[in-house]
Amino acid sequence: MAMSNAELLEKIDTGTLAGGGLLNPEQSKEFLRMTFQATPFSQLHRQETRVAKTGEIDKIAIGGRLLRKKTEGTDDNYRAGIATSKVSYSTVAVRLPWEITEETIRQNIEGESFEDTVMTMMTTQLGIDLEDLHFNGDTASTDPFISINDGWIKQIRTGAGAHVVDCTADTGFGKDTLFKGLAALPNKYRGPNVRWLMSPTRRLKWLEYLTQRSTPAGDVALIGAGDQVNKPLGYAIVEVPSLPDNIILLTDPQNFIVVNTYDIRIRKTTEGREAVMQDKRLYVIHLDDDPIIQELDACVLIDNIPNALAAA
């Protein structure tokens, strides 16, 4: 059942929910859907909701060369196997607090509806911030936001089995950059769902590179259309605003997993010394979050891409 932000506000910390704003599993899933709908890539990656804050996600794989010769009337007792394994997760508790003064609500043209407007804006920003953290998180950073958790980029750079193509020595960005990236991806992972993940600026650089080429693809690039432009080497480009401009990721988006727990709290209070003395409403969203990768071997990070363009 869909739940609007107005309905969420009616639920939060008003005595209608046990635990002071704790959403039930159905409400938690709906809130996460609302949060992630603002970021297109979040519609592509895998999402898992769990009860426990730490645990394991099952992986299932079917190997190759399973077929065997048939002998009429004979059972050789051969059975194809399913390889099962697990990937661990450990969610981190995060929060988004804000406040609204009663004067702001009284003077705003929306009146009490302004509360719902702000809730919508905060939910959207929560989704944007989470996607940023999922890609760029680094616990070694001194930045209070980036250091919350390790994101997918760091996991690929430091994880055993991932493939990193370092372009530091390259003089320019172009088709050779993508060829090197695709060559680094093992054949068994080159399925139809693989995507190039890049920032909007990096995609613009790709278009700029194509327009320099005296080929039909160069003309097509001027209008941003055609498979030659949007599906280089047969794989579609997905723009991810959170990605740095100097990297490209190549993988199946479903290889990236975001784990959240059902323990989502949306709290509101108009009581307490601060709220009363400063005449304001206080809000905070609490949730648990962890980005993990199912198969590091199925990831390619093209790193340190130069800003200059290669010769056409």
Radius of gyration of the chain (CA): 24
Tens digit of pLDDT at every position of the chain (312 positions): 455 555 655 554 443 333 456 788 888 888 888 888 888 898 899 999 999 999 999 876 645 566 777 788 888 887 766 666 789 999 999 999 988 888 888 887 776 778 888 888 898 999 999 999 999 999 999 999 999 999 999 999 999 999 999 999 999 999 999 999 999 999 989 999 999 999 999 999 999 998 887 666 555 555 555 666 789 999 999 999 999 999 999 999 999 999 999 999 888 888 888 888 888 888 899 999 999 999 999 999 999 999 999 987
What are the helix (H) ranges across 37-174?
102-107, 113-136, 152-158
Look at residue 72 in the predicted model and tell me its pLDDT: 81
149, 95 contact by CB (below 8 A): no
The closest of 193, 183, 156 to 301, measured between CA atoms, is 156
> Domain 5-60+83-147+257-293, what fold?
Major capsid protein gp5 fold (3.30.2400)
Look at residue 71 in the predicted model and tell me its pLDDT: 83
Token duo for residue 290 = 């962890």
Look at residue 174 in the predicted model and tell me its pLDDT: 94
| Spatial distance between the Cα atoms of 97 and 285, rounded to a whole number of angstroms | 6
Q: Token match 């981190």: residue?
A: 92
How many C-beta atoms lie closer than 10 Å to residue 200's C-beta? 12
Q: Where are the domains of the chain?
A: 5-60+83-147+257-293, 160-255+296-303
Look at residue 272 in the predicted model and tell me its pLDDT: 82
Q: Quick one: 160-255+296-303 is in which CATH superfamily?
A: hypothetical protein PF0899 domain (3.30.2320.10)
